[in-house]
């Protein structure tokens, strides 16, 4: 089995990725949070920093792009090519209202004719450049029946791979992933498949493998945010201790202090991280309020010291 780390906008940028890769069991591939090209700007300075090869050493990184414009997609791909990338991933899964209204992300699945033109042009140009295309997709917007036309469309193209998160746009992250639709993908897809969705524990992973023994790629997202040791546990490797978690935390904390100006944005990002990590800490919930209230670095550091000193 190959394991991929999901793109997680706002969380899994290069600082988090590097800290994870250094302290825990590495993934075979990491996907960047989506890059959203704009007119005259293939990559913002933040997006560029996230994909610079020197910021991503020792790991395989696939940049992801969110757009419905052929020229934007290709301009960004060209920049990525110049940086050394040979594969880009198209986001057809983002369920957020603002993105979907603009017919991007999962919203692009509402316009399959336009998506067909987009994919035809993009695959043709990318192949001239010597670049491969992979897609990360949801299974539709409102009804699971939409997937039949969607998979037929993808079958017209030779993709590096097709990553399927088997939820509808309207479901956001609620309910269970539709494994029956993923089974349909397994039956019908001409492209090789990667599964993504709700693998939070070793048991979830084992259940998936029992149901889909033919699948050789799995992408993990929130499960890793909540338990950075998840991949080690899945692979049956040594359990991590809290010291490792502390080093991981400290690397991220230092990285954010380097990248952001001012204390508030750093603390804001660290709060978000603790939102995922606190349930892992025995008695962790008692620190939630304190972390939320801290608004100076000094204060934050004291709370973190308390958290790790009692472990
Ligand atoms: C905070 C957050 C940010 C996300 N950002 C992206 C993104 O930039 N691109 C993308 O394709 N999916 C994004 N996703 C979706 C995840 O990549 C993944 O498909 C989803 O969380 C389901 O997998 P999981 O159950 O393993 O977390 C995001 C999800 C979350 C929770």
Strand, coil or helix: 196: strand
Q: 2-234: which CATH topology? A: TIM Barrel (3.20.20)
Does any ligand 1 atom lie closer than 6 A to the CB of residue 199? yes
3-class SS of residue 4: strand
Burial class (CB in 10 A: 0-12, 13-18, 19+), 259: middle
Cα 7 to Cα 222: distance, rounded to the nearest angstrom: 10
Rounded Cα–Cα distance for residues 282 and 135 (Å): 39
Which residue out of 67, 200, 221, 225 has the highest number of ligand 1 atoms within 8 Å of its CB and is therefore the one to mutate?
221
Beta bridge partners of 219: 4, 196
Burial (CB < 10 A; 0-12, 13-18, 19+), residue 243, is exposed
| H helix intervals, 192-283 | 202-211, 222-226, 230-234, 242-259, 263-277
Kindly give the confidence (pLDDT) of every residue in the chain, 311 residues in length, as a single tens digit, with 9 standing for 90 and above: 999 999 999 999 999 999 999 999 999 999 999 999 999 899 999 999 999 999 999 999 999 999 999 999 999 999 999 999 999 999 999 999 999 999 999 999 999 999 999 999 999 999 999 999 999 999 999 999 999 999 999 999 999 999 999 999 999 999 999 999 999 999 999 999 999 999 999 999 999 999 999 999 999 999 999 999 999 999 999 777 888 999 999 999 999 999 999 999 999 999 999 999 999 888 888 899 999 999 999 999 999 999 988 76
221 Cα to the center of ligand 1, angstroms: 6
Please tell me if the CB atom of residue 171 comes closer than 6 angstroms to any atom of ligand 1. no
Residue 197 near ligand 1, beta carbon < 6 Å: yes
What does the pLDDT look like over 195-248, one tens digit per residue? 999 999 999 999 999 999 999 999 999 999 999 999 999 999 977 788 899 999
Asked if residue 7 has its Cβ within 6 Å of ligand 1, the reply is: yes
Predicted model pTM: 0.97
* Ramachandran quadrant class, 236 (left: phi over 0; alpha: psi -120 to 50; beta: rest): left
């Amino acid at each position: 089995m190959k394991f991929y780390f999901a793109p997680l906008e706002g969380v899994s940028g290069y600082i988090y990725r590097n800290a994870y890769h250094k302290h825990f069991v590495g993934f075979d591939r990491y996907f960047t949070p989506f890059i959203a090209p704009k007119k005259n700007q293939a990559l913002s300075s933040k997006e560029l920093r996230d994909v610079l090869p020197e910021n991503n050493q020792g790991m395989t990184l696939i940049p992801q792009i969110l757009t419905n414009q052929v020229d934007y997609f290709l301009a960004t791909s060209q920049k990525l090519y110049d940086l050394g990338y040979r594969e880009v991933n198209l986001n057809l899964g983002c369920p957020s209202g603002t993105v979907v209204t603009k017919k991007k992300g999962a919203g692009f699945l509402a316009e399959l004719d336009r998506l067909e033109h987009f994919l035809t042009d993009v695959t043709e140009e990318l192949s001239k450049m010597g670049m491969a295309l992979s897609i990360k997709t949801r299974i539709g917007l409102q009804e699971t029946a939409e997937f039949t036309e969607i998979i037929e469309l993808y079958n017209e193209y030779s993709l590096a791979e097709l990553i399927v998160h088997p939820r509808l746009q309207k479901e956001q992250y609620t309910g269970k992933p539709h494994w029956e639709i993923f089974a349909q993908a397994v039956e019908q897809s001409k492209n090789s498949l990667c599964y993504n969705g709700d693998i939070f524990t070793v048991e979830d992973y084992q259940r998936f493998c029992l149901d889909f023994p033919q699948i050789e790629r799995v992408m993990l997202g929130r499960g890793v945010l909540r338990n950075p040791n998840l991949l080690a546990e899945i692979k049956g490797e040594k359990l991590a201790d809290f010291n490792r978690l502390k080093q991981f935390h400290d690397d991220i904390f230092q990285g954010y202090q380097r990248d952001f100006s001012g204390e508030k944005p750093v603390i804001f990002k660290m709060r978000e991280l603790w939102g995922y990590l606190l349930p892992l800490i025995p008695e962790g919930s008692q620190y939630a309020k304190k972390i939320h209230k801290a608004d100076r670095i000094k204060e934050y550091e004291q709370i973190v010291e308390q958290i790790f000193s009692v472990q």
